[in-house]
Structure 1
Amino acid sequence: MRHINRSALAALVIFTSSLAMPATAQESIEVGATFIAAALDPTKGSSSWALVSHGIGEKLFMVDRNGKLVPELAATAERTGDLTWTVKLAPGRFFSDGSPVTAAALKKGFDHTFANLPAAKSTGGMIIFEATDDLTFLLTTERPVPLIAALFAEWPLMAYTVKDDGSFLFTGPYAVDAFNVDQNLELVPNAHYQGAESRSPINLRRFGDAQTMALAFEAGELDLAFGLPSEGLSRLKSNPDLTVKSFPVGYQYFGFINNERPQVSDVKVRQALDLTINREELVAAINAGTPATGAFAPYFPFAPREPRGTDLDRAVALLEEAGWMSGAHGIREKDGEALSVLIVTYPQRPDLVTMMPVIKAALARVGIASETKVVENIGEYAAGGDFDIALWAQHTAPSGDPAYFFNSMLKSDGPLNHARYASPAFDAIIADLTTAGTLEQRADIALDAQARLFEDAPLTFLVSPDWHVGLSKRLAKYEPWGSDYHVIRPEMGEAR
């Protein structure tokens, strides 16, 4: 197996003699997924989220399997002023090299994150960290934050430290032995994490598409296949040596509609697109989930109750009001130009690829032509803006709160606002989330914000999905939770 040169890429791979496997280690657990961390630098793309998902990193606070916000590396958080908080760390925690977790060490990591990852600033703005003793932070936020624990449960804010040589140290139950970019991560138990002796090493393999992963799982190559496609599930379930578990997730499937593209810059065209798509057809195509009601999974109190509807007659009327009339070959035209949109998505979420032709057919019913494209790096591609609709999967409330999604992906200056949506009215609504302290208040604001989004249609909300995980007999007791935020967990070594 080809390994990255550790001496040349010390900033990417952490490997010390203290990471040796316990003497009682079992045979490696083989895990397959369609995603893998892009780098061991938590500020590169979504690596912070991926490293936590892989069991390498942790956060100050997390959402547990029951959806409850709980401490992880932290012990308590207390407000001390309008913009200041004191956070106490839990004692007795260690990095994977055996050094203690201290406020000063974590400050180095958070400073690196806030200097290099714009998404970290979405909720509280820039945050200044001061280590007042080994286990205590004083935090100063740029903007008021009603729930600091929810902020630190957001995916960009993994807790780690930066060594003098520029490499990174993490605290999770597993440590990196070898990292082959875009191929696999070889993980060993973190010897300084409780219960290390019960854990086996893990080989996490990245598959370019879910169908190939499903074939590898069926052939007995994988103990855990995360994100199986809906096609072929019945065949896999009929195999007595395999277990398939399906579960609802906090992710939502939606489409960014690029407000700056001429074909969809008119709100009436965007509204027509939204009304044309039949969510029941999408659910049937992927054989899982329910039609979306808005931006959030239906079990959240800030999710609307009614599914997004389909109304072809109204869609046609809106298109004609916008000047798009039926033309040659049934495609709508205006000023001699055909109405055609580019739809893009990415293979790491196979349901989105399955949904793409269904959406193409739906748009054709009202005279909208479309081209489709599957790209490998959707974040980079969407940032470039060469699309009309970008099909996307996102956990919209990873901390159990609606603020992060609105601030990062829909606020006018949001760092991940791929719709190029700019609405002072929407910004004013979500600004109230900086002061609303009760769940009821925050739910009301989130519902008002979604009503505004339904009017402006910078997104089309599609499906609240179910996902599927395949398990060998060795991991038959494994229970998926946290969507894909915690795929590799401390108890996996005990799930045999």
Structure 2
Amino acid sequence: MIRFSAVLLRSDIVKAALAASLLAVTTLHAPDAKAQAAEDAPLRVGKTFIAAATDPAQGSAGWALVSHGIADQLFRVDRDGRLVGNLATDATRIDDLTWQVTLAPDRLFSDGSPVTAQAVADSLNRTVAENPAARASAGALTFEAQSESLLTITSERPTPVMPSILAEWAFPVYLYAGGDLHFTGPFMIADFTPGARLDLKPNPHYPQADSRNPVQITRVADGQALALALRAGEIDLAFHLPVESRAMLQASGDIAVTSFPVEYQYMMWMNTASDALGDARVRRAIDLAIDREALIAAARAGRVAHGAFSQVFPFSADEPARHDAQAAAALLDEAGWIRDGDGPRMRDGETLSLTLVAYPQRPDLVTYQPVIRAALADLGIEVTTRITESPTDMARAGEFDLFLWAQHTAPAGDPGFFLLLFLGSEGANNYSGWSSAAFDALLADLAQTSDPQARNLIAREAQALIAEEAPVAFLVTPEWHVGKSARLAEYEPWGSDYYVIRSDFGLRE
């Protein structure tokens, strides 16, 4: 058993005296009134992308709802990367497929309804049925209320890490009533323009609601425009600034810029359905051809990736990604892609030509494009670059050869979620189209292993196999930059961009 754990005045003299008195009072208190109005004004946040939907059953909406301070999960990861209870106090494993979860007392939805086991079961059963991401780690989960505060969860596949699964972004808790959704976070939605703007107001049923300002979140797709908006005083927080904007902003004197390492990985999917990229030798050659240090120099931030996970996790790969242009050329020769002098690589009269896609919501990825194109050109590979505003749609449609991608690979502090969802043969987000029986067998072992050290070992074995087959090239563990006005001088980012707006966000004493 595992436990996670309001007279009339007629005299003109009196009237004049009253008018003078009122003028004096107004003059005396006007600055205070202005100051109070400024203090009560919304906190304005600029981000390179925001929620496109507010229903956790749709795509990655659950991630955005948690990131924006609207929703909570049963469990979450804290500032130090530890898995902790949130709407739940503990979880107990009954057998391989069954867990019991005890809810925290006195939690309320934004409409004032209590968070009960039945409400939780209704919402999460709906999400599991409609969102493939909720079925990634342990198959379909079934939630059943045993009492007001006790919940039983049955999984389709065995899992020893149910609390970690419940901390994944697919599992925010909500009340679905009459077509409306009510959440449990410190803020609630006042107005919403999908993908463009989100106006939040304090949730009156969350502690310290009277000490919170409204929040306005605006999407500013271009990183430089985001920096200029902060310098112009149009926003109070600029999340995900380009590194080259730091000096300009810090020179203003009233803006602080915080740089921090994140738990994302920057990577590049390789479309194995492509004629050329169906050959693992070509994929490995492309992986070897990329100089990660050159990418870091171009973006002026980050560290060479150690496999699929940031080095803050004990299950990251042991060795950094390797750069070896000569070995890359030899692999291409072996695969039949021959180069005549400085010409392009050819095979059976066909030129090795690939399309490299990136998206501006992650500015570093666009910065990487010319560096990667140059490295592959040195090998004789022709590369055309493209920018898309709809990365998920393009990735799912397979309309790419190479796709630069940013992903939090361990949002719940466990390796299984990313490996299953993005690289398992049946993974809903398997954008590369790669399939490996050996890899799937490792995932099956991971699903039944509870010992943390053993899980770490399996995760490393899985990453070694990924490196050998190269359906994805892991590039850089990034560093991000956040700009803050004086109103948010005490704000500290953590949890990458998963917990941007939290219960302490701009909280007044």
TM-score range relative to shorter protein: over 0.9
SS at match of 2:313: coil
> Following TM superposition, by how much is the alpha carbon of 1:327 offset from its aligned partner in structure 2, in angstroms?
4.2
Aligned equivalent of 1:443:
456
Equivalent of 1:421 in 434, 439, 448 = 434
Q: Are 1:243 and 2:217 counterparts?
A: no
Aligned equivalent of 2:129:
115
Q: Write the letter of the residue equivalent to 1:291.
A: V
> Following TM superposition, by how much is the alpha carbon of 1:267 offset from its aligned partner in structure 2, in angstroms?
0.7
Aligned equivalent of 1:430:
443
Aligned equivalent of 1:100:
114
Q: Aligned ranges for residues 157-176 of structure 1 at < 5 Å?
A: 157-163=171-177, 165-176=178-189
Q: Equivalents in 1 of 2:359, 2:340: separation in Å?
A: 32
Equivalent of 1:222 in 228, 231, 235 = 235
Q: Equivalents in 1 of 2:81, 2:338: separation in Å?
A: 48
SS at match of 1:490: coil
Q: Write the letter of the residue equivalent to 1:479.
A: E
Q: 1:442 to 1:424 in 2, by over 3 A?
A: same
Equivalent of 1:34 in 45, 48, 60 = 48
Aligned equivalent of 1:492:
505
Contact 1:474 1:495 in 2 (8 A): no
Q: Aligned ranges for residues 79-158 of structure 1 at < 5 Å?
A: 79-158=93-172
Q: Aligned ranges for residues 374-389 of structure 1 at < 5 Å?
A: 374-389=387-402
Q: Equivalents in 2 of 1:24, 1:220: separation in Å?
A: 13
Q: Are 1:317 and 2:330 counterparts?
A: yes
Residue-pair matches, total: 473
SS at match of 2:244: coil
Q: 1:83 to 1:24 in 2, by over 3 A?
A: farther
SS at match of 2:411: coil
Q: What whole-Å deviation, never above 9, does each CA across 1:107-166 have from its counterpart, x for those lacking one? A: 121122111100110111111111111111111100111011101011111111211x22
Q: Aligned ranges for residues 225-304 of structure 1 at < 5 Å?
A: 225-304=238-317
Q: What whole-Å deviation, never above 9, does each CA across 1:453-491 have from its counterpart, x for those lacking one? A: 110000101000011100001101101001001111111
> Following TM superposition, by how much is the alpha carbon of 1:279 offset from its aligned partner in structure 2, in angstroms?
0.1
Tell me which stretches of 4 or more aligned residues in structure 1 moved more than 4 Å: none
SS at match of 1:203: strand
SS at match of 1:35: coil
Q: What whole-Å deviation, never above 9, does each CA across 1:298-317 have from its counterpart, x for those lacking one? A: 11111123211111111111
Structure 2 gap ranges (5+) = 1-36
Aligned equivalent of 2:13:
none
Q: Are 1:403 and 2:403 counterparts?
A: no
Q: Equivalents in 2 of 1:292, 1:82: separation in Å?
A: 34
Q: Equivalents in 1 of 2:150, 2:317: separation in Å?
A: 40
Aligned equivalent of 1:54:
68
Percent of paired sites with the same residue: 49
Q: Equivalents in 1 of 2:379, 2:243: separation in Å?
A: 29
Q: Equivalents in 2 of 1:494, 1:181: separation in Å?
A: 26
> Following TM superposition, by how much is the alpha carbon of 1:210 offset from its aligned partner in structure 2, in angstroms?
1.4
> Following TM superposition, by how much is the alpha carbon of 1:263 offset from its aligned partner in structure 2, in angstroms?
1.9
What RMSD in Å do the two structures reach over aligned CA positions? 1.4
SS at match of 1:390: strand
Q: Write the letter of the residue equivalent to 1:300.
A: F
> Following TM superposition, by how much is the alpha carbon of 1:24 offset from its aligned partner in structure 2, in angstroms?
12
> Following TM superposition, by how much is the alpha carbon of 1:235 offset from its aligned partner in structure 2, in angstroms?
1.7
Q: Equivalents in 2 of 1:229, 1:381: separation in Å?
A: 24
Q: 1:252 to 1:495 in 2, by over 3 A?
A: farther
> Following TM superposition, by how much is the alpha carbon of 1:232 offset from its aligned partner in structure 2, in angstroms?
2.0
Which has the greater radius of gyration? Answer: 2
Equivalent of 1:473 in 468, 472, 486 = 486
Contact 1:273 1:363 in 2 (8 A): yes
Which segment drifts farther, 246-255 or 236-245?
Answer: 236-245
Q: Equivalents in 1 of 2:197, 2:72: separation in Å?
A: 20
Aligned equivalent of 2:87:
73
Which segment drifts farther, 230-239 or 84-93?
Answer: 230-239
SS at match of 1:188: strand
Contact 2:265 2:407 in 1 (8 A): yes
Contact 2:239 2:482 in 1 (8 A): yes
TM-score, with length taken from structure 2: 0.91
Q: Equivalents in 2 of 1:285, 1:45: separation in Å?
A: 32
SS at match of 2:243: coil
Q: Write the letter of the residue equivalent to 2:144.
A: E
Q: Write the letter of the residue equivalent to 2:110.
A: S
Equivalent of 2:379 in 342, 361, 366 = 366
Structure 1 gap ranges (5+) = 1-22
Contact 1:25 1:199 in 2 (8 A): no
TM-score, with length taken from structure 1: 0.93
